[in-house]
Amino acid sequence: MLRDMLAPSQAAPESRADQSSPRDRPGEPRAAVAEGRSIVLVGLMGAGKSAIGRRLAARLGLPFVDSDAEIERAAGMSIREIFDRFGESAFRAGERRVIARLLAGPQIVLATGGGAFMDPETRALVRARGRSVWLKVDLPILVRRVSGRNDRPLLAGGDPASVLADLAQKRDPVYAEADVIVSCRDEAPEQTTNRVLHALLAYRPPRRVRVPLADRAYDVIIGAGIAARAGAHLAPVLPSRRVVLVADETVWRLHGEKVEAGLAETGFSGRALLVPPGEGAKCFAAFQDLIERMLAGGIDRRTGVIAFGGGVIGDLAGFAAAVALRGLPFAQVPTTLLAQVDSSVGGKTGINTAHGKNLVGAFHQPRAVLCDTALLATLPVRELRAGYAEVAKYGLIDDEPFFAWCEANGPAVVAGEAEALAEAVARSVAAKARVVAADEREEVAEGGRALLNLGHTFAHAFEAETGYDGAVLLHGEAVALGIALAFRFSARLGLCEEKDALRVASHFAAVGLPVRLSDTGRRWDAERLVARMRRDKKATGGTLTFVLARGVGQAFVARDVAEDDLRGFLREEGASA
C-alpha cells in the first residue's frame, strides 16, 4: 500500500516549489552553482536542512522541496504514522522512490530526511544527478535543537543525546561522502546559508574519465586535493571499509597524514605498509615481504588494497592484490606524473626479474584511480620531466594535434603549472582509456595496446643494463630516449621522414629529456642491448618486436625487425661494437 501511495508520479505544482522561493525573485547566478544539478542537503535531524534549504533556494531563485514533506503529502499521513504502520524498511523504500522522482525533474534545492543518504541506491542517485552538501553540526547543538520535539520517530521514548550520539557514530562516515561539507555553527540561519552558498560556489568537481571495460569499468578521477577526500571517492566502489594501504616511504612521509585522514573521515580502517622508494622494490623479495605482511594483518577477500605512490608502488601493490587470496579489490592513488598518466590506468601489474622488466605479473584492474594533481607539486623537476615523456607519447602514437599541444604546453607541464598539468593528465588518461577498452590484455594482432610500448623496447633494455638504478636513468627518461631512437630508427629504415624524427627529438630536448645515448653520460654496448631486447616480453618466437612510426601520430607494431639493422643503428648512435 505504501508503495502505491509513493509511486512515481508528477508532483502537484504547489508541492514542488515552496511558496518561500518564487522563481521571479532575483537570486545568485544559478549557472555558477552545482552546474544545473539539484542541490541535496543531508545531515542529522536538527542540522537545519529545511531552514537552510528554503533560504538557499530563495537566494538562487530555485524551488525548494522537503523530501519528508513530499512523502507525507504523497502518503497522506505523517512520517511517524508511516513508521508506526509500515515500519522503517518500507518507509526507506518509499523515500528512495520519492527522491528518485524529484531528482529526475528540473533543478531544485532538496532537503532530505536524516536517514535518506544512508541508503546506497539513494546515494548513487544523488551522485549521478545532484550536488550533495552535508550540514555538519556539533552534537550539543543538535541535542538542544531537537529536545522536546515529538515529531521524530527515531527519538520516540529515547534520550535525545544518546540517540543522536549513536546516529552520528553510524551516519557521519556516510554523510562524509557528500560532495561538499559545511561545518555549521550555532548561528543565525542566514549566516549558515551564506557559508553553504560560498562553499557551493567554490566547489570544483573533479574530472572523471571512464575506462569502459563492461562489468569491470571504472573511473579515473582527476583534480587538485582529492587525496584528502579519498574515502568519499573510494567508498562507493570498494566492498568494505577495511583496507591495506601500500605506500612509498617517501610519499607517506610527505602526504600520508592527508590521505589517512581522508580515508578515516568515511570510516575506513586498516594499516599502512611502507615500501622503500625506487625501482629496486619491484623484486621477488619485496613482493614476498609485502604479501607476508598483508596476510599477517588478517586480510579477507573483501579487504581493499590501495596503492599510494608512483608506478613502482602501483605495480607491486597491484600484483599483490591480484594474487593474495586469489584476488583482492584494488584502487590506485598515484603520486607521480608518470603513474597518473600511464601505469595506474589499465590494470597491468608486476615485478622485475634478472631477465628483464615486468616479466612476472598479472592483469588486475583497479576499482578506481584517484589522480590528485596537487601531489605533483612536491615532485622534483626531474621526476616531472620523466613523467612528461609518457604524456607526449600519446600524441606520437595516433594523435598529432595532441603532440602539437604538447609542443606548445610541454614547458608549462614540466614547470608544474597547475592548469597545464591537469589538462595533460586528463587528455593522457582519456587516450590510455580508449586504447585499453579496445585491447585490454594486449591481444590485438596489429596495433591496439601494444602501441603504448612506443620507445619501450629500447627503454627496458637501457633500464636493465643500469640495474634499474633511477640515479642513472629514470623510467620516463629511458622512454624519452627510446622514443627518440624509435623515430630515428624508423627514418633509417625509410619508414618516416627525417624531419619527423628531428621534430620529436627537438621537443624532448627542449624540456630537458635525453634524446641521444651520449645524453645519459655512460657507454652502451650494442650486443648487450640487442640481447636484452631479445628477452623483451613483446618479442615472439625470438623475433624482435618494436613500435615504430610512419610519422608523428602514425605508430605501428613491427614484428620483422632484422637484428643486423638494429645492431648497425645502435652503433651509429654511439654504442660500442
Catalytic residue among 171, 255, 449, 507: 449
The verdict on whether 383 is a catalytic residue reads no
- Residues β-bridged to residue 368: 219, 331
CB 252 within 8 A of CB 274: yes
Catalytic residue, candidates 385, 393, 453, 532: 453
What is the identity of the amino acid at 538?
A: K
Active site residue 400: no
Whether 453 is a known active-site residue: answer yes
Q: Are 98 and 70 in contact (CB under 8 A)?
A: yes
CB of 532 within 8 A of CB of 466? no
Amino acid sitting at position 114: G
Residue 21 has a pLDDT of 40
pLDDT block averages, 10 residues each, the chain of length 577: 53 40 47 83 95 97 95 87 86 91 96 95 95 96 83 70 93 98 94 96 95 94 96 97 97 96 96 95 97 97 97 98 98 97 96 91 98 95 96 97 98 95 96 95 86 96 92 95 98 97 98 97 96 80 88 95 95 93
pLDDT score at 15:
39
Distance spanning both ends of the chain, measured CA to CA: 86
Catalytic residue check, 460: yes
- Provide the whole-model pTM: 0.89
- Fold classification of 2-202 (topology level): Rossmann fold (3.40.50)
Q: Which of 123, 460, 488, 537 is catalytic?
A: 460
Task: Return the SS3 of 273.
Answer: strand
Element (DSSP H or E) covering residue 499: helix 498-510
> Top-level CATH class of 438-572?
mainly alpha
- Report the pLDDT value the prediction gives residue 355, as an integer from 0 to 100: 86
Domain boundaries, the chain: 2-202, 207-379, 438-572
Which position among 14, 150, 326, 443 bears the catalytic label?
326
Given the residues 383, 440, 442, 463, select the one marked as catalytic: 442
449 catalytic per annotation:
yes
Decide if 499 is catalytic: no
State how far the alpha carbon of 257 is from the alpha carbons of 64, 225, 293, 432, 502, in Å: 39, 13, 21, 30, 46
Fold (topology level) of 207-379: Rossmann fold (3.40.50)
Question: Which among 348, 367, 393, 427 is annotated as catalytic?
Answer: 348
C-alpha cell at 554: 602514425
DSSP letter at 113 equals: P
- Establish whether 442 is a catalytic residue: yes
For residue 393, indicate whether it is catalytic: no
- The size of the chain, in residues, is 577
Contact 166, 139 (CB under 8 A): no
CB 386 within 8 Å of CB 338: yes
- Crossing angle of helices 189-202/49-60, nearest 10°? 60
Domains 2-202 and 207-379 share a fold: yes
Q: Look up 348 and say whether it is catalytic.
A: yes
Of the candidates 305, 424, 306, the one whose C-alpha atom is nearest the C-alpha of residue 373 is 424
